[in-house]
Structure 1
């Protein structure tokens, strides 16, 4: 079983830190799960132009393949102009609709204001619905205040919510794959 964390931005580090925090919590309690971080700043991905995803090459193909091969996801984005990043939107446009079909998604978002936490409800969850993905009930929004000057997450409540999200996505994935014995 493979969990892919996606940091859907090419700037900053807080989104990647938040996604990695969830991945680390999964890793601590589930050594059987293969975990990978797809940090979009590490790839030179072209803009989607509507062609068959199988025809892309280079980093774009690598990113599409990583998304396709994963069984479930933690997807992170900063909030820019009250929306997801263009980088994450482009990734969603590049992969075939079947990439996320009946797979579990968990979301984290970062931002500089407290008003934008609903972006997850109003944008990411509908996108997941379009893909016919299963969405973890919890998501985590991290404000700049939740990090210290070293970019470490220091808010205890946020750390607990990240832990809950990690547990939810694993539980949902295991239930969907029938890994729990029925009573």
Structure 2
């Protein structure tokens, strides 16, 4: 099974720090799971213009292929102006919805106000619903205060939630995989 962590921003680093922590937790507790990080900051992704996704080239095609090859996801975004980033929304627009169907998603968000945690509930989860993805019950919101001056995630409560989310996505993915195997046998 392949878990893809997506850092859905081209600026800042806090979201990537939390995503990496979640992936570390999975690797530590489930070494059989293949882990990959997609850091959108490292790619020059074209703006979605509505064309067939198979016609994109370069970094855009590579990013679509990386997302398509994953079995499940931990997706993170900083919250800007009360919403997910344009970079993450663009990724969602580029990837055909069928790629996410029946796959597990866990969500992480970072931001500068405590109210921004609502973006997970009001924007990210409905997008996952549109994709017909399965969403982990937990999510993680990390405020700027939860990081050290060196950008390390230090808040114990947030670290516990990262661990819980990591376990939930793995549990859900394994349960779905086992259900699919049983269904195929019958």
Count of equivalent residues: 181
Runs of 4+ in 1 over 4 A off after TM superposition: none
Does residue 1:156 correspond to 2:156, yes or no?
Answer: yes
Does residue 1:43 correspond to 2:43, yes or no?
Answer: yes
SS at match of 2:109: strand
* Corresponding position of 1:84: 84
Per-residue CA distance 1:45-99 (angstroms, 9 max, x = gap): 0000111111100000000000000000000000000000000000000000111
Separation of aligned partners in 1, 2:124 and 2:87: 14
- Extract unaligned runs of 5+ from structure 2: none
**1:118-157 correspondence runs (5 A):** 118-157=118-157
* Corresponding position of 2:30: 30
* Corresponding position of 1:7: 7
Name the TM-score, length of structure 1 as normaliser. Answer: 0.97
Separation of aligned partners in 2, 1:5 and 1:52: 25
What RMSD, in angstroms, separates the aligned Cα atoms of the two structures? Answer: 1.2
Separation of aligned partners in 2, 1:103 and 1:175: 11
Separation of aligned partners in 2, 1:23 and 1:38: 11
- Extract unaligned runs of 5+ from structure 1: none
